[in-house]
Amino acid sequence: MNKKQKGFSLIELLIVVAIILIIAAIAIPNLLRARIAANEASAVGSVRSMVTAEVSYSSTWGVGFAAAITNLGGAIPCTASSTTACILDPIITVTGTKSGYKLTATGAGGAGTATSPDTSFEAAAVPVTVGTTGQRTFCSDESGVVRFDPAGGADPGTDTKCEALTALQ
């Protein structure tokens, strides 16, 4: 049997597999960090959209700010009213979750009526799983300044508690 065999030896295949595993071990954490960064950017954009929607709601319906995030949107087909303003995308208002963040918006300071309007609001984005879908919690109020909790804690719940957090640069 002088015929020379063609192909790879077991050692050569094991070396290739080891190299692939090393490259994967380097790349996967970077991909996870990139996904978290993308989710956080989406959350900040959603909070800004909710602030704009609250201001638009207040000027359109004359009952102050919306009492809940569901008042800012509505299921398709949407008929605009003070209970379903059709301002925000149903992904945000109906499901309340987008890009790994739970989104909320609540009015305060009144009864949400023409005689007793909500004079303030708080919009927030909280990671569904801290460290996996996002690292930080974001919030804003009628000032329009987006703030964050670096620990990714719970929704601040009020505009006063939101104002105590660090402003996003």
Q: What is the pLDDT of residues 13-61, one digit of tens each?
A: 999 999 999 999 998 889 999 999 999 999 999 999 999 999 999 999 8
For residue 3, name the pLDDT band (cuts at 50, 70, 90). Answer: low
Q: For 61-83, how does the pLDDT look when each residue is reduced to its tens digit (9 = 90+)?
A: 888 899 999 999 988 888 888 88
Q: Is 168 exposed, middle or buried (0-12, 13-18, 19+ CB in 10 A)?
A: middle
Domain ranges of the chain: 10-167
Task: Report the pLDDT value the prediction gives residue 111, as an integer from 0 to 100.
Answer: 76
Q: What is the DSSP letter of 92?
A: I
Q: Look at residue 2 in the predicted model and tell me its pLDDT.
A: 58
CA distances from 134 to 39, 96, 137 (A): 6, 16, 8
User: Of 128, 13, 107, 20, which is closest to residue 65 (Cα–Cα)?
Assistant: 107
Q: Is the per-residue pLDDT at 165 higher than 70?
A: yes
pLDDT in tens, 93-113: 888 999 999 999 999 888 777
Dihedral, CA of residue 100, residue 105, residue 156 and residue 164, to nearest 10? 120
Torsional class of 109: left (φ above 0), alpha (ψ -120 to 50), beta (otherwise): left
pTM across the whole model: 0.83
Q: What is the pLDDT of residues 110-124, one digit of tens each?
A: 877 777 888 999 999
pLDDT band at 140 (very low <50, low <70, confident <90, very high): very high
